[in-house]
A and B are shown apart, each in its own frame.
Chain A
Amino acid sequence: MKLQKKVFITAVLFFIVFAIFTALSFYIVAEVKETTTELDSAAAIAVRAAHLEALFANYYIDRNEAARQKWAEAYRQLGATAAKAKFDTKAERVLLAGVIASYNATGKSFQAFLVSKNKVHAQAVIDASKNMVFYAFRLRRSNASYMIGLHQKSFVLVICAVAAAAIILVANLLLIVFRIVRPVVDLNKGVELVGSGALTYRVGNSADDEIGDLSRAFDAMAVNLQKTALRYKTIFESVIDGFCVIDVEGKFIEVSKSFCAMTGHDEQELLNKRLSDLEADSSRQNIEACFKDVLTGAPVCYELKYRRKDNTFVDFETSIQNLRGEDMLVVFFHDITERKRSEGQLAQYRLHLEQMVAARTQELEAANHDLKRLNQVKSDFVSMVSHELRTPLTPIREAMSLMYDGIAGEVSEKQRHFLEIGLRNIDRLARLINDLLDISRIEAGRLDLVVEPFDITEVVKNVANTFGPLAEKKGLKIDLGDCVVPVLVNADKDKTLQVFDNIIGNAIKFTEQGLITIRVKIKPAFAECSVADTGKGVSSENLGRLFNKFEQFNRSAADGEKGTGLGLSISKGIIEAQGGRIWAQSVLDKGSVFFFTIPLYNEEQVNKEGVL
């Protein structure tokens, strides 16, 4: 039954009992009041009856009119009183009837006495009066004893009321104690226990009332709490990472199973330790110093080495953060031993790789050194060859030349002819050696350029002068245009001269009649030189091969000095080494034009390069 209903019923009961007693009280009060009235009238009857009896005695003695009137008056009053009187009980009413009968008899006897005045009638009056007084006093006494009974009755009633009130009060107290206070105390205990973390505690109140409901609701809440706690615990425990709660001193307050497993300690052992006790190196200030800061600030994260129970070491990424508003810290441990090991391995691999690279570099350097040495050998070889080939050529040529010039005696025409062949071919061989040396330098990138500013028109004029006699001999004209304005270029003067030699030499060699036109045009950053002839020209398929090594066209047609087939190739090497370009245009049987560019002298740029 619901407590509310119970309290309601108790209240109703209390009210009913209270009402009953109130009614009874009212009844008793009314009764007392009535009885008092009756008592008064009974007393009055008794007094008046006694008075009437006395008055008759007076009259009997005096026998006068005054006494008779007094008696009559008293008799009338008694009659009125008796007539008015009313009584509840039958006994009283019988007694009152006796009084009234005696009263009436007294009246009759008095009338008879008045007439007879004899003793008999007087005695009758006295007897009747005595009867009346007797009844009146009996009535009074009866009435008084009822009053006493009434008093007793009301006393009992009060006792009963007090007792009933006491019983209801005790019953209510018991009800309160057994049905409210005890369960509330139990519930309170439950609240305290569950609140302090004993989530398995249940109040277990099965009462069918509000407190029972409250207790069951509380138990349900505890179950949910336990479930939630278990869920979180399960989640936390199932995380491979360990975690713990520590106080500001670093003492463990709570540790996770995973953390126990990670460190090899059991929970109880850990709870007697501090976090710094597990650190591999005992510089505990380091980690503990941060606790206070973390408590009010941002989380921190360290990579620390810890000592397990079995004295092996383990690396944890340790992140410490505060528990909002609590004087505690939560620490998470992520095992990075493997990662550390990998890092170590990686570092080792890297070191190994670096060593390998270093070794390889050394090898390469050695190889490079070898190559350089080889290059040096080659270069030495080239100079050796050039020296060793040219050195014997010098006395050979000189000796033949001495004979040819007749210094060693008379020379016949035929001898002179053969000596001339010899000399010509010595010159050819010397040219070939020079060209081969040039080519080998160009190909080795060892063309030693002496770059300096000079006026290219000057060079053109000199070349034209040099070739003038040869051209004249063949009936050719050399047209220089108007080489009046100096054109300053930045190049190797001798090498540039060599290019002009080659190209103009070719032009003259392959042109039978007409004109050799030499022009220098200023283009952006370059001087563009062109040498045009009116010779045989080169077919378009041969044009592409013109600058290749040992390419010679119309060999048979060329007279005079035989070429080596390297001239244009060398020219190309020289021009390109100076940053220029060389190309040719040609129409067969009409003539060819050779173009090449030479960098212009740019004072600013040269200065800048000088600074750089």
Chain B
Amino acid sequence: MKILVIDDEHDILDTVSARLTAGGYSVVTADTGEGGFAKAVKERPDLILLDIMLPDIDGGVVAAKLRAHILTKHIPVIFLTCIVSGKEIEGKDTIGGNMFIAKPFKSEELLARIREILGE
């Protein structure tokens, strides 16, 4: 199973990649929204972990682009966010984000969600 992690924090990319790799997944990373979208189209992962606050485009926009693209529209997305409030989530799940996980998350919780979505 291939998971794409999009986050501008390289420390997060490193640790999450290590955790996912240890969990048996192959991991692809991107540190910008546009780069992440390009990677998603190119690699076509089974799941995308998407940060909301990205330096170039908002995570919501990335999700919308993914949903709009024929090759990526079926890929489930987990938003990684610092602030989970009603306003922030509002509208985003209709775009297609399947789930939100607040930072800092517990590794077990993240893995549990991933397994849940991938139906393992």
Chain A residues proximal to chain B, CB less than 8 Å: 383, 386-387, 390-399, 401-402, 405, 407-408, 426-427, 430, 434, 437, 441, 448-450, 492, 494-495
Residues of B within 8 A of A396 (CB): 104
Interface size of B by CB at 8 A reads 22
Q: Which residues of B contact A434 (CB under 8 A)?
A: 102
Interface-lining segment among B11-19, B25-33, B55-63? B11-19
Within 8 A of A (CB), among B90-119: 90, 102-107
Interfacial chain B residues near A449, Cβ < 8 Å: 86
User: In the complex, A396 Cα to B12 Cα: how many Å?
Assistant: 9
B9 within 8 Å of A by Cβ? Answer: yes
B42 proximal to A (CB < 8 A): no
Q: A387-B53, A399-B15, A407-B18 are in contact. Are A492 and B104 (CB under 8 A)?
A: no
Which residue of A383, A398, A426, A430 is within 8 Å of B15 (Cβ)? A398
Contacts A448-B87, A450-B90 known; A390 to B107 CB distance under 8 Å? no
Tell me if A395 and B82 are in contact (CB < 8 A): no
Question: Which residues from A are CB-within-8-Å of B82?
Answer: 383, 386-387, 390-391
B18 touches A393 (CB 8 A): no
Tell me whether B83 and A394 are in contact (CB under 8 A).
Answer: no
Q: Which of A393, A407, A495 is B19 in contact with, Cβ under 8 Å? A: A407
Give chain B nearest CB distance to A493 CB in angstroms. 10
Please state if B83 and A386 are interface contacts (CB–CB under 8 Å). Answer: yes
With a cutoff of 8 Å between Cβ atoms, the chain A residues found around residue B18 in the complex are 398, 402, 407-408
Q: Determine if A426 and B86 form an interchain contact, defined as CB atoms under 8 angstroms apart.
A: no
Q: How far is the CA of A383 from the CA of B85 in the complex (A)?
A: 11
For A401, the chain B residues whose CB sits under 8 A away are 19, 106-107
7 inter-chain pairs at a CB distance below 8 angstroms, sorted by A residue, are A387-B82, A394-B15, A394-B104, A396-B104, A397-B105, A407-B18, A492-B86
Q: Are A405 and B22 in contact (CB under 8 A)?
A: yes
Q: Which residues of the partner chain B approach A405 to less than 8 Å between Cβ atoms?
A: 22, 107
Knowing A386-B83, A402-B19, say if A395 contacts B14 (CB, 8 Å).
Answer: yes
Contact B103 A393 (CB under 8 A): yes
User: Measured between C-beta atoms, what is the minimum distance from B115 to chain A in Å?
Assistant: 16
Which of chain A's residues have a CB closer than 8 A to the CB of B103? Answer: 390-391, 393-394
* A residues near B106, Cβ cutoff 8 Å: 397, 401, 427
A387 to B103 Cα, complex, angstroms: 9
- B36-56: contact bitstring with A at CB < 8 Å (1 yes, 0 no)? 000000000000000001000
User: Which residue of B has the minimal Cβ distance to A389?
Assistant: B82
Q: Which residues of A contact B107 (CB under 8 A)?
A: 398, 401-402, 405
Q: Is the CB–CB distance between B83 and A387 below 8 Å? A: yes
Report the minimum CB–CB distance from B17 to chain A (whole Å).
10
Most chain B beta carbons < 10 A, residue from A390, A393, A449 = A390
Name the distance in Å between B32's Cβ and chain A's nearest Cβ: 16
